[in-house]
Amino acid sequence: MLSIPTLQHIYKSYADTQRFNQKPASLYEPINYLLGLGGKSMRPTLVLLAANLFSAQVEKALPQAYAIELFHNFSLMHDDIMDKSPLRRGQPTVHIRYDENTAILSGDAMLVYAFQYIAQTNADLLAPILQIFTHTAIGICEGQQLDMDMAAAPTATVDEYIAMIRLKTAVLLQASLEMGAIIGGADQSQAAILGSFGLNLGISFQIQDDYLDTFGQAAQVGKRIGGDILENKKTFLLLKALELANPEQKATLSRLLSTRPLNEIEEQEKITHVTALFQSLNIAQLTQDFAQHYYQLAVDDLQRLQLPPDKATYLLDFAHYLLNRQS
């Protein structure tokens, strides 16, 4: 088995050769800009890791790994427009640096190119790989719509939130592992179990992300703490707090959520007060416990897969890193 850093290096070396230098430059430059903002390349690394569980020839999964990364960044480009986000990884989002029409069209091009890379799959594996990829793409669109519906709705439940992040976030980790396993030579049952591992890991990842936005350290997270609170975002933390709060606490929370801070001082006051209410309801611990629950489901999936211990260790280490990361 190759180490995670080695797999990341293999992927980066391949991705660096895939720059979009076609014309018109106004269409392709934003794609290179977004891909060049960096990131951990978690999803394409998972494609290669899954392939390596069943084959030493991880290079044959590189086009599919790149397809996953293209699709992921396409979804980010369009999500940033819908969310009116000014920054992505600390830099101006594509629609801010260029304009909305460019971001829409460049994102569309990324989606089409993702399918072009999927098409490089060997003919005998193309049908199952394409089925996984298209099913995942539709699921992510459904998840994004559920996210918008939830944002507009007056109330939501934790169960509805989990259903949303399962589609919007977790299915892409599921697809990464399932596709990589198939390309590596896994049978359908093995690939499905590995995909379930990715799905549960993805849910744990998103819940941990919610936790870090409120209870992380700004220097480590790389962004202002409390952004979700300022946006009144229906995260696990907020929905769990509303579920557990007594009438007085609900009234306080409702008042805080209805305030519109006019400056940075008022913004920080809102963050401080909502965070204090979360702490009084033990939300930090409950959030980490819930993330741990899905992490354990992922570990249980690995046990069902019955991999040799040395191979299972790589996946366990990756899962442990995601659960315990601070950024």
Sequence ranges of the domains in the chain: 1-120, 124-327
Query: Tell me: the pLDDT tens digits for 103-142?
Result: 999 999 999 999 999 999 999 999 999 999 999 999 999 9
Q: What is the pTM of this model?
A: 0.92
Tens-place pLDDT, residues 133-181: 999 999 999 999 999 999 999 889 999 999 999 999 999 999 999 999 9
H helix runs in the chain, sequence order:
4-15, 25-35, 42-54, 62-83, 94-97, 100-118, 123-152, 158-165, 171-184, 188-215, 218-221, 227-230, 236-244, 247-258, 264-280, 283-305, 309-324
Instruction: Please check whether residue 215 is in contact with residue 291, taking contact to mean a CB–CB distance below 8 angstroms.
Output: no
Q: Pick from 306, 73, 277, 295: which is nearest to 205 by CA?
A: 295
Domain 1-120 class, CATH top level: mainly alpha
Beta strands 91-92 and 87-88, pairing class: antiparallel
The pLDDT value given to residue 221: 46
Residue 324 CB partners (closer than 8 Å, separation 6+):
none
Q: Which class is domain 124-327?
A: mainly alpha
Nearest in space to 276 (alpha carbons), one of 232, 215, 222: 215
Domains 1-120 and 124-327 share a fold: yes
